[in-house]
Chains A and B, each alone.
Chain A
C-alpha cells in the first residue's frame, strides 16, 4: 500500500526537478554563507554542506537498485539525475575548498600530494568525472550497454573513497562519518550475488 502510494507520487515528479532543487539549494547555501547565515565560519560550513550533501546523494544513488529489489520503491527514473547532481556538488565542494579555503595553487597541490585524506578525496572526484561525462543517452549508445555498465561500476570505489575521505578528516572517533561509511559498505555488499540470493529467499 505505502509502496504503491510512494511510487504513484514519484511518477508525478519529473527528474529535472532534482537538478533544479539541487541548484537552488546550492545557490541558497552560498547566499547564506556570504551574508552571515552559516555562522561565524562560513567557509568551513559551506565546504562541509556541499560535501556532505554530495555523499548523501551518492548513498541515495547506490540505494536505488536495492530499494527497488527489496522494497519495490522505484527511483530508477531519477538515478541519472541523482548521480549527476552528486557530481556537481562534489565539484562545488572541491571549488570551495580550493578557492575559498586553501586559496593558492601551490598549497592546493601540496595538500593533494601530502595529505592522504585530500588525495583520496581527489581520487574519488577524478573517478566521478568519466561517469558524469557519460551520463547521457548518446554515451550509452556509443559505448554499448555492457561497456557503459562496466564503466559505471567506478561509482563503487568512488563512493568508498568519498566515505573514507570523511572518516579520515574527522578529529577523534566520530559517529557521523562512520555511518556514511557503514551505509556505503552495506549498499556495496548488497551487490554481491550470494548475499542477494540469501536476502531474496
Chain B
C-alpha cells in the first residue's frame, strides 16, 4: 500500500476522427501521484495531457486500463471521486453573465457548502477579487478570470486539484500569482496534478515530473532524476542577460511599489554597457526572483528561462 492519491494503470483512449479513423491518444499510461505533492504532466500539444486529466476527473471514460483517485475507481465510483476533486480546465470555466461572487455562490450551493456567502467572500478576498465581486465575470481580465476559475475550484476544499495548463495565455504577473496559489495549496495538503507545456512551470512547481509523449509516459521522476538522464552537464560561463520577463516584472514592480531609486530603472542592454549595467541587472533580477518566491532554480549556467508564447494552437 502506497500513499498514492492518484494511481493510473495502463490508461488507454482513442478518438474517432472525421473520416472514421481511430486515433490512439493514450497508449498505456502509468503513473502515481502522492498525497500533498505537485505532480506535473509535461508534454507538447496533443500529447494526451488534457485527455488524461479529463479521464481522471470523471468527465471522459477511458477505453482501457484503470485509474483510482483517493482510492476510488474513476469509472465505477465516479460520484465518490467527484466529491474529492476539482477540475480547473484548460480554458477558464466561469459564467460570464454572473458576477464573480455569484459564480462562487453557484458552485458552493451545488457542492452543498454550509455557508456559501461566507465562503464566497473569503475566497474573493483571498484571490484579490473583493473589489470586483459584484462585476460580471465577462468584464474581468484574463488573469482575474483565471483567479476566479481557481477560486471556484477550491470551493468545498477538494483533496485533489487538477490544473490543466493553468497559465496558458496569462501574462507573467498573473502566471506568478497562479504559481503562488498552487504552492500554498500544496503546502496546505492539497494534491495537485498539473499539466503544462512549459518546462519552466514544471521545474518551478513540481516535486515530480512525468513527460507524456505520443500517448506514453517516457520519463518520470524528480527534476534531479530527470536531469541525470542527460549527459553530464558541462560547465560553461556565459554572461546571462536578464530575460525580458524579468525586466518587465522588475519595472512594473517598481512602478507599483514606488521603490525609491528603482522607479526610473530602464534596462539598456547594449553590449558596450554590459559591464556598467551588471549591478543594475542584478538588482532587477533579484527583484524578479523575489517575486518568484525565491524558488528560481538555475540548474546550469546556460539554462535560460523559456520564452512563453502568448497564444498557442488550440487542441
Bound together: no
Residues in A lying within 8 Å of B, measured CB to CB = none
Residues in B lying within 8 Å of A, measured CB to CB = none
